[in-house]
Structure 1
Amino acid sequence: MADAQETNKRRLRRLRQMRKTGSVTNAAEALDGIWKAGKEPDRIVLRSTLLRADGERSRLTKLVLPRGIALRFYLLAAFEAQCRLDTGDPWENVLPLKGGGSWSTLVAIDGAYATESGTYDAALENMPPDLRSSARMEELWRKKKLEALRLQQVKGALRTLEELGQEDALVTMPRGARGQRLYENFSLMEEGGRGDRQTPDFYTVPAHQWAATKTITLPKDFFLKGWIQVLNPSEVATWLILRMMSKWAPKKHHTSGVFLTTRPRMQIFGLRDDAWEDGCQRLLEFGLIRHAEAPEPEEVAEIAGTDPLMRLLLSQPTRVRQPYEPHLWQVTDGGLAKDAAETVYNALAHRQRALDTAAMKRAQHDPVRLAGHPPDGVTQ
């Protein structure tokens, strides 16, 4: 509980700073500019190979990292490609890494936080003294530092996407004369990775009409309303999996919801219990999914049919009783129309109050403290 309390507090702090600096708004406006200047797609299509596990973990779950923006960057690249290109068109990079109209402008971050001072003023530490007297110069200095941090995040994302492995890499980068990465010349791979052939599987725009098991779709508001900027990687991964399941079983999703128990989730997607359960709970609080009613056994059999994959996904285990019944979920795209930064901030603030109250009650009812004895290792 203490970890949850501190983690939520840090997330609130970062989101508060992002709202203060307009970071999410600026990134959303940059994406909106790309969308309006291009084909204005209502939905972005992803090949399901990004989600499917190969061995223990999928490419998706390898990107569920506590730090960095690798998963976010790959989805942003798919968005940019489908705003600009037609189905089947090959991708090539047309954006610089920094400056106006660059990849860096598509990313929202909170900036440099100084733990010692508990503020975001660390950006001013190396500012020339003669410039500090001007509020305008201080603001420009902060923006310069923030731009440098965004570029650093973008380069870190490209490294992570390349280092997924020889076959799983989602980007490749040529090397310079001294072996350094040429970030500006990166190439985007398809969702299944670089592949094992001599010619890499370079990214092309997938078709919208492909079979349900081949693709999933992301509404444009996921990008334009700022959700891609404020959701954690585990939340994005959970949301993508739920979207994929809703497309696999649309009737079941609509009537009674979809669910995943541990075994099929690990076998098919490679996503672990903690990431899944926490992701579902946060998505529920943010209004992107909702609880559904349990299906009747006859309905499950009718929807699953003879497909063994669908039976694994939709059927409850019968030999071993689970310690809890899995939740049934429905994806609610209407929630995406809300401002992401405000919605998530309000939900996290509500959660923080609940966590703080619970911590206070635990402290008040601590039997050691009530007896007048301090905990081990603490002197009065």
Structure 2
Amino acid sequence: MSTSTPRTTASRLQSRLDHLERLRKEQPGQTFVKAVATFRRIYDQSNQPSHILVRRRFVRRSVAIEIESDHDRRPRLKPPAQTLIRSRGVAYRLYLVLLAAAQCQPGGRFSSRLNYPIRSDGDEDIALINLIAPGSNPRPGTAYRKGYRQMRTEQVYNALDLLADPAHVLLERLAPPGPPVRLNLEVGPRPDQDPQPWKRPGKEAFIAIPIEFFSMGWVHVLTNSEIAAWLMFRDYGQIGLQETSDSFRLLAHDRLSWYDQSKEVWDTHAMLSRMGLMTSHSSPYLPADEDGPARREGTLFQVTDEGLRQNALRQALNAVAVTKDGVVGLEDLARR
């Protein structure tokens, strides 16, 4: 049995601060600036769409199912986004970036086939290794024989292998200068058909992601859980192409039956609010009466896109630092 001490909230926040600081450095393979600049080069060659469209069924079931509680572990088919957030590494972020790149082709075209190489010899080239910001954490005193390009190449290959397993992408490894990547429909194939090449949503219900989510670097600084929650709140709040949603409450029953997202994912609304991507206000408890115990109406949310125009790395660093300052010492104080 493990005797390791569970990490405190403060230590987890400090680890995240360290990760964000590494993204800010100009060290090869870690820089946030390179990933953002590479995507902007793709965007500048396109018709510059204001939003990237993702099929609603990527994050939400088409038909709700009955789930008893967060502790309900019965096997069930989950929305693709809910499955992807569990993947380690850069797979989830890379897939979203690839969906954005597919909608930012020269001349306003939309293509399921992305002919960008995995790696290139030039730092300014458009290659998949230059579209990610992993913020790697080399162990002190460790001498790596592989160069940073080789290590990032392996990260991208590992991510594409993860995406190929549920048929999100088709990887043509033997095609020069390759391998080009073909995106499949983000909702996955039906049981009775082969994976279908991606195409931009037409009459299907979709979630609109403002281009600033990519061009300002939010895709690189949010955690997988925060991205999943943000997409869930965007869909449930029906923000569409507007800049601000109406106020809404997300019931636990709907969170589970439609999105199959955990309470831990829902809880990230607090950090998303500190970063300026939404607002959340918890209602006060109503006093107990003859009809039942003390209760409250729940948390009132509103999604706001104005904050996406801010530098994502700076906003994330500030939000995590403020959160850490608010919890440092609380664990020790509680034990007294």
Query: TM-score higher than 0.5 here?
Result: yes
1:337 equivalent to 2:335? Answer no
Of 62, 66, 77, 2:98 maps to: 77
Q: Indicate if the aligned counterparts of 2:208 and 2:240 stay in contact, CA closer than 8 A.
A: no
2:25 & 2:49 partners in 1: Cα distance?
A: 30
Q: Give, in angstroms, the shift of residue 293 of structure 1.
A: 8.6
1:261 to 251, 257, 262: 251
Q: Which amino acid aligns with 2:261?
A: L
Aligned to 2:21: 16
Q: Which has the larger radius of gyration?
A: 1
Letter in 2 for 1:172: L
Secondary structure, aligned partner of 1:218: strand
1:320 Cα offset (Å): 10
Aligned to 1:111: 136
Is 1:327 the counterpart of 2:299? The answer is yes
3-state secondary structure, aligned to 2:147: helix
In 2, Cα distance between equivalents of 1:40 and 1:57: 33
Distance 2:98 2:292 in 1: 43
Q: Name the residue aligned to 2:179.
A: 184
Alignment partner of 1:231 is 2:231: no
Partner of 2:61: 53
CA distance in 1, matches of 2:8, 2:61: 29
2: CA distance between counterparts of 1:94 and 1:183? 7
Relative to 1, partners in 2 of residues 1:86 and 1:238: Cα closer, same or farther, differing over 3 Å?
farther
* Helix, strand or coil at the partner of 1:195: coil
The RMSD of aligned alpha carbons is 3.0
- Please give the alpha-carbon distance, in whole angstroms, between the structure 2 residues aligned to 1:362 and 1:292: 26
Partner of 2:189: 194
In 2, Cα distance between equivalents of 1:280 and 1:92: 35
Q: Where in structure 2 are the equivalents of 1:18-167 lying within 5 Å?
A: 18-21=23-26, 23-53=31-61, 55-65=76-86, 67-84=88-105, 89-99=110-120, 100-114=125-139, 117=140, 122=142, 125-126=143-144, 145-164=147-166
Preserved contact between residue 292 and residue 330 of structure 1 (Cα < 8 Å): no
CA distance in 1, matches of 2:245, 2:135: 38
C-alpha separation in 2, matches of 1:259 and 1:183: 46
Q: Give the distance between the partners of 2:81 and 2:292, measured in 1 at CA.
A: 29
User: Amino acid of the residue matched to residue 282 of structure 1?
Assistant: M
- Equivalent residue letter for 1:173: L
Q: How does 1:212-231 map to 2 (within 5 A)?
A: 214-231=205-222
- Which protein is richer in helix relative to its size? 1
Change (3 A) 1:86 1:217: farther
- Partner in structure 1 of residue 8 of structure 2: 3
How far does residue 218 in structure 1 lie from its aligned partner after superposition?
0.6
Return the offset for 1:242: 1.0
Calculate the TM-score normalised by the size of structure 1: 0.71
- Determine the C-alpha separation between the residues in 2 that align with 1:286 and 1:269: 23
What is aligned with 2:261?
271
Q: Identity over the aligned pairs, expressed in percent?
A: 24
Residue number in structure 1 paired with 2:236 = 245
Listed one character per residue, the Cα deviations across residues 183-221 of structure 1 (whole Å, up to 9, x for unaligned) are 8244211121133344421101224xx46xx01101111
Q: Is the 8 A contact 2:236 2:250 kept in 1?
A: no
1:323 positional shift? 6.4
For 1:111 and 1:268, locate their aligned partners in 2 and report how far apart those are by CA, in whole Å: 35
Extract unaligned runs of 5+ from structure 2. Answer: 1-5, 63-75, 284-290
Could you tell me how far apart the structure 2 residues matched to 1:161 and 1:320 are? 48
For 1:188, the aligned partner's letter is L
- 1:70-119 deviation line (CA, Å, top 9, x unaligned): 211111011101110788844112100012310110101212331xx4xx
Indicate the residue corresponding to 2:276 in structure 1: 287
In structure 2, distance between residues paired with 1:320 and 1:101: 61
